[in-house]
Amino acid sequence: MSLIRLDSICRRYEMGGETVHALRGVSISIERGEYVAIMGPSGSGKSTLMNIIGCLDTPSSGSYELNGNTVADMDDNDLADIRNREIGFVFQTFNLLSRSTALRNVELPLIYAGVDIDERREIALAALADVGLADRVEHRPNEMSGGQRQRVAVARALVNKPSLLLADEPTGNLDSKTGEEILALFKALHAKGNTLIVVTHEEEVARHARRIIRIRDGLVASDEVVT
Amino acid sequence: MNIGSEISEGLRISWEALRGNLMRSVLTTVGIVIGIVTVTLMATALEYLNTAFRDAISFLGTDVLYVDRNEWFIDNNNKFDRMQRREKITMAQVRAVEEGLSGVSGVAPSVMQGVEGLRYGDRSTGGVLMIGTNEQFIITGGASLASGRFMTKAEAAANRDLCIIGADIADKLFEKEEPLGKRITVADQRLEVIGIFEKRGSVLGGMSLDNQIVIPIQKMNRGFKWDPSCVIQIKVGDTARIPAVRDELRGLMRKIRRLPPGREDDFAINQSEALVSQFGKVSAIIAAAGFFITGLSLFVGGIGIMNIMFVSVAERTQEIGVRKAIGARNRTVLLQFLIEAAAICLLGGIIAIGITRGLVEVARVYLPKVAMSWSVVVLALTVAVGTGLISGFLPAWRAARMRPVDALRKD
């Protein structure tokens, strides 16, 4: 069974009395353990697609199954639980809570999952050690470099052992050297068996993936395996 | 996520937010502080008034009935005129009540009259209250003796030249001398002091209970107040029996005064409870007016909180998006902002209690018995948190209902 199965996904918005068709019938399957890049120019619908895959948004029509869960007809609470358990997000702007330490940031998904205090501390510390930040746990985001912040975000994304890591332009705010570091980290995660989806408009970033899906005008334009 | 850890997480977040915007938070609380100070001052003042009033009327006794020609509360002039025309309660009627009423602790008639200038040697007093009564007064009147003895039944009946005096009168007339056995002069009468009352203080803003002199009732009726209307004091002795005794007394009085069935009572049976309930009405009006004003200031404070919470939600839209993206439920977000609003108000409440505490200390200089009770503290904190929850609800609801994708998109 595929990890992700999108079938004829459409997403329409009402904008100033006009209907915008962001997605016009996208069907994709992604297997467990894949490393996929989703590419497309701005306005192509790739962000909408990412939001739907990430359960931040729901499709207007079509069906979406994530790890055997039918997402389309879930309510807000179920979606929150799905996001908490199944998906780890990495954002372009890191989106860490600025007033909280690295440790607190990484603990947050565990808090929402209801893990008790001792256990979550242990898990969060291990997740930070995994991304090489064992010595930065008490630092706040503004005391860390961009690369370090993004690694905190990766640790936060992985701390609940989600079935999918979803990264939106993860290197967009980093210089090329730190960007490479993050991509190396992704590669290592993929080697360990994690499923990764990276949304990007940079060919260089996409080339690290094993499969590239290109979106144009709300449709899949191409879907190729990188050799 | 269980509710306990949601609350502790919410407290933690609001603590961080409060600290992050310390100046703003403190300024926001000003409105709440003013509101809560008003609440606590109001409540403290009302509590003080109530206890002061209870203290003041305790001399009346809670289980003593007063049969009188007039009611204690007369709400219009008509009624007053009618009462003035009522037949007096005579000594003969008093004796009939004494004989007819059974199973009570004591029955004492009383006639009161202000008199000028008790004298002993070259000393004299100003105006004092003279009470004519019998030996039962020591039971019904709620006073006890510091020294000497009260009049006996025989002495009362025989209309002897004796008196029992209040502590202030004793101090004034005798200073260092022993008063017992001495004769004091009132008008043309010479009365032997046989007892001195225990000091009782003053009531109802100045009327001194220690500036009284008690004499046998017939001495009063012949020497000081001709043909008066008596007040009959009846000590029931058991609070539970008051209604029954009241009924019996009413029937007895109607019979004694020969009222035909259907005619309304031409006497009244008064009780300190009547004063209490009358005072209750007054204090309820004061409370209603006070809490209306308080409510207004809390309302204004609440609007301030609501405003600042809307700002807080708008500022942290991105954060709300992130929290939702990593699994916060709507309820969690709602609770987070509710707790934050409640925490700001709680802070205001605590500041307000501190301020009130200070004001009460100042008031103590003039009213030594004023105190802020724990119930007022609890009330203040409850009202503060309640205001926070109510005024924080709309902003928190808005935050909770945000779609994660919209919240994240906003920069």
In chain A, what is the greatest distance between 2 CA atoms, to the nearest angstrom?
53
Q: B393-403: per-residue pLDDT in tens?
A: 999 999 999 99
Q: Do A83 and B326 touch (CB under 8 A)?
A: yes
Q: Which whole number is the average pLDDT over B107-136?
A: 88
Predicted confidence at residue B164, as pLDDT, reads 93
Cβ neighbours for A159, distance < 8 A, ≥ 6 positions apart: A88, A106, A107, A109, A110, A123, A124, A127
B324 neighbors A80 (Cβ within 8 angstroms): yes
**Better-predicted residue by pLDDT, B404 or B276:** B404
Predicted confidence at residue B345, as pLDDT, reads 92
Q: Residue B302's Cα: distance from chain center in Å?
A: 31
Query: Is the confidence at residue A212, as pLDDT, over 90?
Result: yes
Q: Does A184 touch chain B (CB under 8 A)?
A: no
Predicted confidence at residue A128, as pLDDT, reads 94
Q: Residue A169's Cα: distance from chain center in Å?
A: 10
Cβ contacts from A onto B, under 8 A: 70
Q: Do B326 and A56 touch (CB under 8 A)?
A: no
Query: Is the confidence at residue B60, as pLDDT, over 80?
Result: no
Predicted confidence at residue B411, as pLDDT, reads 54
Chain B residues with CB-CB distance to A under 8 A? 1-2, 5, 9, 16-17, 20, 318-319, 321-332, 403-405, 408
Q: To probe the interface with B, which of A52, A76, A85, A91 has the most B CB atoms within 10 Å?
A: A76
Cβ neighbours for B210, distance < 8 A, ≥ 6 positions apart: B166, B167, B168, B169, B197, B199, B200, B201, B202
Place of tokens 């008490």: A138
Of B319, B404, B408, the CB nearest to A97: B319
3-state SS string over A69-107? EECCCCCHHHHHHHHHHHEEEECCCCCCCCCCCHHHHHH
- The first and second tokens of residue B4, run together, are 């306990």
Q: Do A56 and B329 touch (CB under 8 A)?
A: no
Strand partners, B191: B184
| Confidence band of B221 (pLDDT split at 50, 70, 90) | confident
Q: Do A97 and B5 touch (CB under 8 A)?
A: no
Place of tokens 């709400």: B75
- Which chain A residues are Cβ-neighbours of B2 within 8 angstroms? 114
Measured between alpha carbons, how far is A125 from A118 in angstroms, rounded to an integer?
A: 11
Predicted confidence at residue B388, as pLDDT, reads 93
Nearest residue in B to A109, CA atom: B326
**Better-predicted residue by pLDDT, A16 or B359:** B359
Q: B184-204: per-residue pLDDT in tens?
A: 988 888 899 999 998 887 765
Place of tokens 């069974």: A1
Q: A117-154: per-residue pLDDT in tens?
A: 889 999 999 999 988 999 999 999 999 998 899 999 99
Q: A66-82: per-residue pLDDT in tens?
A: 988 898 778 889 999 99
Sequence length of chain B is 411
Q: B240-282: per-residue pLDDT in tens?
A: 888 889 899 899 999 888 888 888 888 888 888 777 777 888 8
Of B318, B325, B331, the CB nearest to A56: B325
CA distance B311 to chain A (A): 18
Q: Which amino acid is at A98?
A: S
Q: Which whole number is the average pLDDT over B22-45?
A: 87
Of A56, A91, A111, the CB nearest to B9: A111
Q: B358-384: per-residue pLDDT in tens?
A: 999 998 888 877 888 898 899 899 999
A199 neighbors A32 (Cβ within 8 angstroms): no
- Which chain B residues are Cβ-neighbours of A105 within 8 angstroms? none
Query: Is the confidence at residue B157, as pLDDT, over 90?
Result: no
Q: B98-115: per-residue pLDDT in tens?
A: 888 888 888 999 998 888
Predicted confidence at residue B206, as pLDDT, reads 63
Q: To probe the interface with B, which of A74, A78, A97 has the most B CB atoms within 10 Å?
A: A97
pTM of the model: 0.71
With 0-12 / 13-18 / 19 or more C-beta atoms within 10 angstroms meaning exposed / middle / buried, residue B154 is exposed
Predicted confidence at residue B1, as pLDDT, reads 55
Strand partners, B124: B119
Q: Which whole number is the average pLDDT over B149-165?
A: 90
Measured between alpha carbons, how far is B266 from B249 in angstroms, rounded to an integer?
A: 13
Predicted confidence at residue B205, as pLDDT, reads 58
| Confidence band of B410 (pLDDT split at 50, 70, 90) | low
Phi, psi (rounded to 5 degrees) for A212: -120, 125
Measured between alpha carbons, how far is A104 from A116 in angstroms, rounded to an integer?
A: 14
CA distance A134 to chain B (A): 22
CA distance A82 to chain B (A): 7
Q: Do A84 and B319 touch (CB under 8 A)?
A: no
**Better-predicted residue by pLDDT, B385 or B201:** B385
B138 neighbors B150 (Cβ within 8 angstroms): yes
ipTM confidence score: 0.92
- The first and second tokens of residue B137, run together, are 């007064």
- The first and second tokens of residue B398, run together, are 């808005």
B16 neighbors A100 (Cβ within 8 angstroms): yes
A136 neighbors A148 (Cβ within 8 angstroms): yes
CA-to-CA dists, residue B384 to A117, B293, B310, B345, B355, angstroms = 31, 16, 19, 5, 15
| Confidence band of B55 (pLDDT split at 50, 70, 90) | confident
| 3-state secondary structure (DSSP) of residue A58 | coil
Q: A177-210: per-residue pLDDT in tens?
A: 889 989 998 999 999 999 999 999 889 899 999 9
Q: Do B330 and A77 touch (CB under 8 A)?
A: yes
Specify the DSSP element, H or E, that contains B110. strand B106-116
**Better-predicted residue by pLDDT, B6 or B135:** B135
Q: Do B327 and A54 touch (CB under 8 A)?
A: no
Tell me the angle at which helices B272-315 and B374-401 cross, rounded to the nearest 10 degrees: 30
Q: Does A81 touch chain B (CB under 8 A)?
A: yes
Measured between alpha carbons, how far is B309 from B21 in angstroms, rounded to an integer?
A: 12
The upper half-sphere exposure of residue A15, i.e. CA atoms within 13 Å in the direction of its Cβ, equals: 7
CA distance A98 to chain B (A): 9
Q: Do B404 and A56 touch (CB under 8 A)?
A: yes
Predicted confidence at residue B262, as pLDDT, reads 85
What are the E-state strand segments in chain A? Answer: 4-15, 18-30, 35-39, 61-66, 69-70, 87-90, 164-168, 196-200, 211-216, 219-225
A13 neighbors A22 (Cβ within 8 angstroms): yes
How much is the mean pLDDT over chain B? 87
Q: Which whole number is the average pLDDT over B142-169?
A: 89
Predicted confidence at residue B369, as pLDDT, reads 79
Q: Does A108 touch chain B (CB under 8 A)?
A: yes
With 0-12 / 13-18 / 19 or more C-beta atoms within 10 angstroms meaning exposed / middle / buried, residue B178 is exposed
Q: Do A56 and B408 touch (CB under 8 A)?
A: yes
How much is the mean pLDDT over chain A? 91
CA distance B304 to chain A (A): 25
CA distance A13 to chain B (A): 12
Measured between alpha carbons, how far is B24 from A145 in angstroms, rounded to an integer?
A: 30
Predicted confidence at residue B391, as pLDDT, reads 93
